[in-house]
Chain A
Amino acid sequence: MLKKRLIIFASSFALCLGLDLFKHNPILVSLLNSSVLIFSFLFFEIHTKSKIEINPVFWLLFAFIPLFSFNPQSLIVNILQIAVILFLIIGAKFPQLKIPFFALSVVLLIAGILLVGKLVYLNGSVDHERLIFNNPLSQIVIEDRQKNAIYLPFKIRPFVYNYSIFIYSIFNNIFQLISFKSIFDILLIANVYPLINGFIVTLKNYKKYCLIYLFLFLTLLILGINRAPDKFNSLYFVSPIFLYLILLSFKNINKKVYSALLLFSLLMSGAL
């Protein structure tokens, strides 16, 4: 049993490495990406206290998830990502270290997404121009509304038209990016099915999955405040979380439907 699992882990690693190299990613990036895939499996098993029991073919094909062969063009981001998943594993494995290691992973996640989204640079400087709050048009429109909304008494206008509109803009930004096509591009269309199912599974026992929600919430929030978020960069850090959700419901999904979708996904993505 152990031997079989080792073979699957090694094969997944090799396949992911091969795909990364095929995409002309540098060898170090490829190694780190492949490691993230394997560590994601481990994190799932440790956190859920269960073994992954799925058909080895499906298991291997997770290596085709595009997020695991993405190159963020900054080695520090890859290193941060590996650190995040390692801290998650340590936190899950040793309950007495749970809080400090989970907290560390959250801090690194925030730092990583800010870096990869080019909102913050390594020297600590913030690119204000990339923040949604610095959209000059929004400021002009708010001022215009405060001045010209003649259907409202003058004193009320600042309460109605003000910077709270940025909350709306953040949501708009988030849902603009989290589209069916984006998920398809970063995870393959077939994985949308177990991903949604996995998310529904977490809702039934939401206290157990607070960490998963926190990771997703922070990622979405940071991509929401970015004026020009990129789907790969923004969601790169949560690839282990996506895989976690996919694995969570994998046993219960219709394998025929999944296989058909997977074949379609691989054909359409040009992987085959």
Chain B
Amino acid sequence: MKKLTLKYKLFIIVILLITLITRFVRLDFSPPSLSNDEISIAYDAYSVAHTLHDEHNHFLPLSFQSHNTYKAPLTIYAAIPTTLLLGNNEYSVRLPSAILGTLTVLFLALLVFELTQNLNLSLISGFILSITPWHIYTSRMALESNLALFFVVLGIYCFYKGLNLNNKIIIVLSFISFALSIYAYHTEWGFTPLIIITLLFLNLKKIIKKPIFYVGLIIFFISISPIVFDSIKNIHTNARANTEILFKDPMLESELKNPSFNLFQKSQIVANAVIGSYSSYVNLSNLFFNGLNLLPAKDPYQVGLFLAPFLPMFLIGLFNIKKYFKNHTKFIYIWLIISPLIPALTQGGTNFVRNLVSVIPYTIAISIGFLILLEFFIKRKILGVVAVAVLSASLFYFGAVYYYYFPKSAGEGFQYGYKNIAQFINKHYADYQKIVVDPRFGDYHLFDGVPHLYLSYFTNLDPKLMLQRQETKTGLYFDKYEIRSINWNAEQVNSSYLYIVPVSNSPQDSKNLKMLEEIKLPNDKPAFKILGQN
């Protein structure tokens, strides 16, 4: 490779700075709180780090029970070192994702260079990913899919690098990376085998006489066998596929159970549901205008998974992949087509987290369009200035939404407030005999939260105490905590108890309790009341 000129070095520094700033700065501020899934990951990492058991007392599990479903293990194990190092806070659980998200930018650029030998395109693809809202969002949260994405990109890069250099270690590394992606997220259970088959099939002539690829495949199968056997062993209880598959969609399920439909009609219903679901994943409106859902529904300033000005670049790039990727064109198109397949087979509407693996082929297509337009605008300076202004404006709007409006408006959805409650408890723990927490939240306390995880995590409660918890029909009991719905009409108020309730379930009369603290959401809306007699 020729020596990098100053221009390229500066561009690399800019990409690096943008990536680091957007992935690492104020991880505790936006998103505004650890989400339902994140606190589960955080607590399990904390629990395993200190007891070798997860919240549900499973010894070093390969599938983590969590909120009526099960999580892949890698994100939780990856958070153990940071938890031990940094303690219980947002950074320790989100840092592994931020680090691997940053590395994904690097490996995407390397992959594009490996496939095209085009330095401009390689750097542009890194730049595009570094400012892509979809990847910024997922890199700033402890999301299993973000870790899986890194291992997929690393696996593909190592596959081609190993193939081109005929380096056995890199080829083995590729298959290990693919195996790790299986441990990282459930979408990859379907996607990774598909991408391996694609890679093998498209490069069959080159690899058929190289035994190292057979060794790599054997290593892959051996590596994933523990999680596969674990899943088979628990197929009726904990396979995520049992809970998330499209057929579990209540409407579809009822149609399939309807005896008035024959088998052919049922297959039509299923095919239409899959096509509809797939279509929503590739919908350009979701991708470029409103798919990130950072703001309340129908807010006109919603942000897409990619910045809106990337849409023309994507369309231009889509039809020019061959120009840059030459022998690898089919691979990029297949990647683009198969990546939404697995998410499309799951229920619960379009979920950009499940579909994260699509971010890479889209970014590649956008980068090609960007490069083509760049060449076009260099000759037409005025148009170029307009294009830069539009892109900058789009970045500004995204920045304002992500760092200002989103933390304010999304507090409730992220169960904001429990950390503040934990900070209160930390100061007053010894003052109360019991701490009674009503787990409901929201305007009409319609939602059930997981305060037991937030409070245990942020008060650094000994995880052994949680392992001895009692679960009854009325609630969850451990240490001093009683996590149960409070009905003030029937509640025997105890003067030595601390009561934590959603604002919407405040006692009608004072019940001899006074409000010790009111916890507000980032938008100043009251969320919880801490009540007691001291």
Q: Are B299 and A178 in contact (CB-based, < 8 A)?
A: no
Q: Which residues of B contact A180 (CB under 8 A)?
A: 275, 278-279, 282-283
Most buried by B among A165, A175, A189: A175
Q: Chain B, 240-276, contact with A by CB distance < 8 Å: what is the 0/1 string? A: 0000000000000000000000000000100110011
How distant is the Cα of A267 from the Cα of B272 in the complex, in angstroms? 11
Alpha-carbon gap, A216 to B268, bound state (A): 31
Q: Is B290 an interface position by the 8 A CB rule? A: yes
Q: A168-B289, A175-B284, A175-B289 are in contact. Are A137 and B299 (CB under 8 A)?
A: yes
State A145–B408 Cα separation when bound (angstroms). Answer: 13
- Tell whether A59 is near chain B: CB-to-CB under 8 Å: no
Tell me, rounded to whole Å, the shortest Cβ–Cβ distance linking A147 to chain B.
13
Question: Which residues from B are CB-within-8-Å of A142?
Answer: 300
Expressed in whole angstroms, the Cα–Cα distance for A232 and B238 within the complex equals: 43
Indicate if B465 sits at the interface (CB-CB under 8 A).
no
Residue B457 lies at the interface, judged by CB distance under 8 Å to chain A: no
What's the minimum C-beta distance from A130 to chain B, rounded to whole angstroms? 15
Q: Which of B173-232 contact A (CB under 8 A)?
A: none
CA distance A181 to B302 in the complex (A): 23
| Per-residue B-contact encoding for A126-155, CB less than 8 Å = 1, 0 else | 000000000101100110010001010000
In this complex, how many residues of chain A approach chain B with their Cβ under 8 Å: the count is 30
Query: A268 in the interface, Cβ–Cβ < 8 Å?
Result: yes
Interface of B is mostly: helix
0/1 per residue, B279-292, Cβ < 8 Å to A?
Answer: 11011110011100
**Smallest distance from the beta carbon of A218 to chain B beta carbons, Å?**
19
A-chain residues with CB within 8 Å of residue B404 when the two chains form the complex = 149, 151
Closest chain B residue to A137 by CB distance?
B298
Minimum Cβ distance to chain B for residue A175 (Å): 4
Q: Which residue of chain B has its CB nearest to the CB of A176?
A: B285
Q: Which of B276, B290, B396 contacts A172 (CB 8 A)?
A: B290
Q: How far is the CB of B523 from chain A (nearest CB, A)?
A: 10
The docked-state distance in angstroms from the alpha carbon of A178 to that of B278 is 14
Q: Which residues of B contact A149 (CB under 8 A)?
A: 400, 404
Q: A171-B308, A200-B319 are in contact. Are A268 and B268 (CB under 8 A)?
A: yes
| Interface pair A179/B280, CB less than 8 Å apart | yes
Closest 10 CB pairs of A and B: A181-B279, A176-B285, A180-B279, A175-B285, A172-B289, A175-B284, A138-B300, A179-B283, A165-B300, A179-B279
Interface of A toward B, CB cutoff 8 Å: 135, 137-138, 141-142, 145, 149, 151, 160, 165-166, 168-169, 171-176, 178-182, 184, 189, 200, 267-268, 270
Q: List chain B positions with a Cβ less than 8 A from chain A.
A: 268, 271-272, 275-276, 278-280, 282-285, 288-290, 298-302, 308, 311, 319, 396, 400, 404
